Structure 1
Amino acid sequence: MPHDHAYKQFFSHPEMVEDLLTGFVHESWVAQLDFATLERVSGSYISDDLRERENDMIWRVKYGEGNEWLYIYLLLEFQSTVDHWMSVRLMTYVGLLYQDLIKSKQLPTTRTLPPVFPIVLYNGERRWRAPTKLSDLVQAMPEPLQQWQPQQQFMLIEEHQFSDEELKPLKNLVATLFRLENVDTIEHLAQVIGTLVKWIEKPQQSSLRQAFVAWLKQGPLQRLSHESEPKLDALKDLHEVQQMLSKRVDEWIKQWKADGLAEGRAEGKLEGRLEGREEGIQIGIAKGQQLEQVNSLRFVLQHRFGELPDWVDEKLLEADQSTLKRWLLNAYQVDQLDHLFN
């Protein structure tokens, strides 16, 4: 599934649009929105010019005491290059939307237009440096002329500028989508999906679950799990994805333990040539057990706190077996990673 098509599937669900607004638009008026009225604008109200824009979505929601409509114009931008003239594009699209509302007689009164809130959700890797205000694109002019210039501004949400630390505390589906975009280990992926499963388990959310499964199979799962394509294609539900990842993580832990024990035994036997064969084997077993503790603790910490900083590995490798055992017992009790080591 192409990336832009997947996102269009996501944001055809009102839960995603609501979480985008409540989680990433930090404006006081958002609290006045009645999300029970949130609805996708019918294609019959949109001209061919706008319908052909496959990555744009238009929603409306009632706000304030007057129970009026606010239109949300959501533009999904997946270009590898930043569009310097985006403000001009948005001005054109908002103008077309107004023309359609006038023609279809969807206005609140005969002589006023509803407010429109334009959002650009940008997924590209390159930083967005283009102006978000049309006025910043217009060359300098005498002050008396400024009042005659068109005005347009859009809200930019730059997906890759949010860190996992910022997103993790948010109980928000869009934040979870952003986290999934940036996971770099199978353990981290399993952790985030475990959270997602709990949030969209209602029967009426089956379509949204399917959208996540379809995207995961073409994105993070394909990139990180190393499963064959037929196995990924067979996954139909988020619970199946979660079970597959848990099985894969368990297999990796067993392999880490086996590798650690073998490495420890080999190293111990090498030292044993100098200190005696029996003693060497004992050293090898001890080192293998210690490496097993390190790998087990590291997995638990990754499952709880995500990707670990380099200093954690240094701490784990320097610790003795009794310290590692104590940390492993406390790993599920602490709320912050650094508290475990303090």
Structure 2
Amino acid sequence: MDIIKTPHDALFKRTLGDKEVAVDFLQNYLPDDILTEIDLTDIKVAKDSFIDRELEESFSDLLYNVSIDGKDGFIYVLFEHKSYYDKMTPIQMLGYIIDIWKLYHKQNKNKKLLPILPILIYHGDKKWNLGSSLSELIETIPAAISDYIPGYNYLLYDFSSYSDAEIKGQIKLRLFLKLISHIFDDDFDNGLREVLPLLIELRKKTTGLEYIETVVKYILNIGEEISLSELDRKSKNISAEGSAVIMTIAEKIYHDGREEGKEEGKIENMHEMIEFALELKFGLTSKPFAKDIKKIRDYEKLREIKVAIKNHDSLDELVKSIDV
């Protein structure tokens, strides 16, 4: 069941894109000496992504604007969600840091660049063992040369190595961290045991319903490619109340997905009918216009275009009458 194309990204953005959860994460996991230098009172999401489209399946990111030592600064969080670790990730992260500075310079040409605190959240089925410094990827060099070699340190969080007792924070943050720490388990039952009580608690808060839906979509997409019936069985074995919460949302997702599929089918059929009608009436010269029509996803708009084809004898007149 293809519910969302990038479930890792959706969960990450829905969680740490929330100002309250972001502050909760940073207050619980940043080292004390760093926290004393940062004021999180007016934290803002400055930009939600610097990731290239082709890498969205492997990375998600958020850039926060904060006060560092009384002046503007940034915290950049990169979430790697490959099933394996990649030694080039710190270099990838350095590229994004440079992109942030380029963007800031473009917008503030006469100002010094702002400091950026880099954080890497690693989410894979193997323990991260590449350290927390770019220099660890570079061959050992004499001290006289080392000052001239680019390098930086980053804060690393691999929650797969955290016990459930070590995962701290408010409900949404704990739910997110427990999910990513268990989702690659061979048996997701342990993850469900940790997640279900939090879902029950969150269900009682009116603000938590959309987030629960994001969580359930994530489980259905990532967790063992689990089916609805299997999810129902597993959750009932753990908690009848938790099962009721999770299955209500899961069935809604399944129903919405089917309805969306029906609508997509109607739109594709209409595209084919319009393309056939255009070629039949105006010949192959209508091909470019038919290509533009395929970008339209509004079914009612497509029906209007189908009627307009009948009412125009000139392709030029038809094109002018329609706002594509």
Q: TM-score range by the shorter chain?
A: 0.5 to 0.7
Q: Do residues 4 (structure 1) and 3 (structure 2) align?
A: no
User: What residue is the counterpart of 2:199 in the other structure?
Assistant: 193
User: What residue is the counterpart of 2:237 in the other structure?
Assistant: none
Paired residues of 2:171 and 2:198 also in contact (CA < 8 A):
no
Secondary structure of 2:127's aligned partner: coil
Counterparts in 2 of 1:224 and 1:139: CA distance versus 1, 3 Å:
closer
Inter-partner Cα distance in structure 1 for 2:196 and 2:111: 54
User: What residue is the counterpart of 2:93 in the other structure?
Assistant: 90
Consecutive aligned runs of 4 or more in structure 1 exceeding 4 Å deviation:
49-54, 185-188, 220-229, 245-248
User: What residue is the counterpart of 1:179 in the other structure?
Assistant: 178
* TM-score, length-scaled by structure 1: 0.55
Inter-partner Cα distance in structure 2 for 1:118 and 1:30: 14
The aligned runs of 1:68-87 (5 Å cut-off) are 68-87=71-90
From 8, 16, 19, give the equivalent of 1:14.
Answer: 19
Paired residues of 1:85 and 1:130 also in contact (CA < 8 A):
no
User: What residue is the counterpart of 2:34 in the other structure?
Assistant: 29
Counterparts in 2 of 1:29 and 1:130: CA distance versus 1, 3 Å:
closer
Secondary structure of 2:86's aligned partner: coil
Q: Do residues 142 (structure 1) and 145 (structure 2) align?
A: no
Counterparts in 2 of 1:32 and 1:145: CA distance versus 1, 3 Å:
closer
Paired residues of 2:77 and 2:118 also in contact (CA < 8 A):
yes
Inter-partner Cα distance in structure 2 for 1:211 and 1:93: 28
Secondary structure of 1:35's aligned partner: strand
Measure how far apart 1:184 and its partner are.
Answer: 2.0
Inter-partner Cα distance in structure 2 for 1:145 and 1:246: 57
Measure how far apart 1:212 and its partner are.
Answer: 3.2
Deviations 1:14-53 (A, max 9, x none): 123212211222232324433331111147xx8xx65646
Inter-partner Cα distance in structure 1 for 2:47 and 2:194: 39
Inter-partner Cα distance in structure 2 for 1:145 and 1:84: 23
Counterparts in 2 of 1:159 and 1:226: CA distance versus 1, 3 Å:
same
Paired residues of 2:220 and 2:227 also in contact (CA < 8 A):
no
**Match for 2:189: what amino acid?**
D
- Structure 1 gap segments, 5+ residues each: 232-240, 249-342
What is the aligned length?
225
Measure how far apart 1:218 and its partner are.
Answer: 4.0
Measure how far apart 1:173 and its partner are.
Answer: 3.2
Inter-partner Cα distance in structure 2 for 1:42 and 1:247: 34
Inter-partner Cα distance in structure 1 for 2:51 and 2:79: 14
Paired residues of 1:19 and 1:174 also in contact (CA < 8 A):
yes
Inter-partner Cα distance in structure 2 for 1:247 and 1:80: 27
**Match for 1:4: what amino acid?**
H
Paired residues of 2:77 and 2:121 also in contact (CA < 8 A):
yes
The aligned runs of 1:247-286 (5 Å cut-off) are none
Larger Rg: 1
**Match for 2:45: what amino acid?**
R
**Match for 2:132: what amino acid?**
T
Measure how far apart 1:140 and its partner are.
Answer: 1.9
Inter-partner Cα distance in structure 2 for 1:225 and 1:137: 38
* TM-score, length-scaled by structure 2: 0.58
Secondary structure of 2:189's aligned partner: coil
Secondary structure of 2:149's aligned partner: coil
Measure how far apart 1:146 and its partner are.
Answer: 1.2
Paired residues of 1:11 and 1:17 also in contact (CA < 8 A):
yes
Inter-partner Cα distance in structure 1 for 2:51 and 2:226: 39
